[in-house]
């Protein structure tokens, strides 16, 4: 989860909102996250899952940096190999590195968003299924039904500091792709 030194800092974030999905609005938290990405010039994003909606909303800017898990890369590359995506790297010129994380976060110039797995979940399950989802799953791509959202300066600084620490411990994506997807390595 979140490293202990950062968990201790959560209380200093100040005002925040918990945005929850409801039966009447089952995609509310995802819609807020997408709107946040679409309104940003660049961002720092951490994610353990692949989401086509999120990928389409990520700002393609040289200042955008992404930390993704190997599972997210695997799903993304498989979708490309299966013909579900036209481009392999639609996020160029953003920088992408590999991390191990169980949470998703987005930091922009003025906002911080966190998604944590539900208490009953040890692994995030957000990804695009190959099968047609049933009506209870359609549009909801994770078992997370709430996000933590803040627009305070302290929250943004917290998000930047956390991202910087994770980035420093991350791995380059190239060797992983070369090893696991050699036919796609250029």
Domain ranges of the chain: 4-179
* pLDDT bracket for residue 173 (50, 70, 90): very high
**What is the mean predicted confidence (pLDDT) over 148-153?**
96
**What is the mean predicted confidence (pLDDT) over 75-103?**
84
The pLDDT, as a whole number, for residue 57 is: 94
The pLDDT, as a whole number, for residue 144 is: 63
The pLDDT, as a whole number, for residue 42 is: 97
* pLDDT bracket for residue 118 (50, 70, 90): low
From the CB of residue 22, how many other CB atoms can be counted at a distance below 10 Å? 10
* pLDDT bracket for residue 124 (50, 70, 90): very low
Fold of 4-179: Endonuclease; Chain A (3.30.870)
The pLDDT, as a whole number, for residue 100 is: 92
* pLDDT bracket for residue 133 (50, 70, 90): very low
Within 13 Å of residue 164, how many CA atoms lie on the same side as its CB? 7
Collapsed DSSP state (helix, strand, coil) of residue 11: helix
The pLDDT, as a whole number, for residue 172 is: 94
The pLDDT, as a whole number, for residue 2 is: 84
- 69 has a pLDDT exceeding 70: yes
From residue 68, alpha-carbon distances to 13, 17, 21, 41, 73 in Å are 24, 25, 24, 20, 7
User: What pTM was computed for the model?
Assistant: 0.82
Residue 14 gets the label, from left (phi > 0), alpha (psi -120 to 50) or beta, of: left
The two three-digit tokens of residue 169, written as one number: 């411990």
Tell me the pLDDT tens digit for each residue of 18-46. Answer: 999 889 998 888 899 999 999 999 999 99
- Select from 35, 68, 49, 78 the least CA-distant residue to 144: 49
The pLDDT, as a whole number, for residue 120 is: 54
25 vs 17: CA distance, rounded Å: 17
- 139 has a pLDDT exceeding 80: no
The pLDDT, as a whole number, for residue 138 is: 34
The pLDDT, as a whole number, for residue 1 is: 73
Q: How far apart are the first and last CA of the chain?
A: 34
């Amino acid at each position: 989860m979140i490293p202990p030194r950062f968990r201790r800092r959560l209380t200093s974030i100040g005002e925040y909102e918990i945005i929850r999905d409801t039966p009447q609005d089952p995609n509310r938290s995802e819609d807020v996250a997408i709107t946040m990405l679409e309104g940003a010039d660049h961002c720092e994003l951490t994610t353990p899952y692949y989401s086509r909606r999120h990928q389409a909303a990520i700002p393609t800017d040289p200042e955008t940096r992404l930390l993704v898990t190997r599972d997210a890369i695997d799903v993304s590359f498989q979708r490309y190999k299966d013909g579900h995506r036209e481009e392999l790297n639609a996020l160029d010129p953003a920088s992408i590195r590999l991390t191990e994380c169980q949470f998703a976060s987005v930091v922009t110039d003025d906002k911080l968003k966190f998604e944590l797995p539900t208490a009953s979940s040890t692994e995030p399950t957000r990804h695009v299924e190959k099968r047609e989802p049933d009506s209870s799953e359609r549009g909801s791509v994770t078992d997370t039904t709430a996000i933590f959202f803040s627009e305070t300066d302290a929250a943004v600084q917290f998000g930047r500091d956390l991202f910087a620490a994770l980035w420093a411990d991350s791995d380059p994506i190239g060797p992983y792709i070369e090893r696991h997807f050699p036919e796609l390595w250029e």
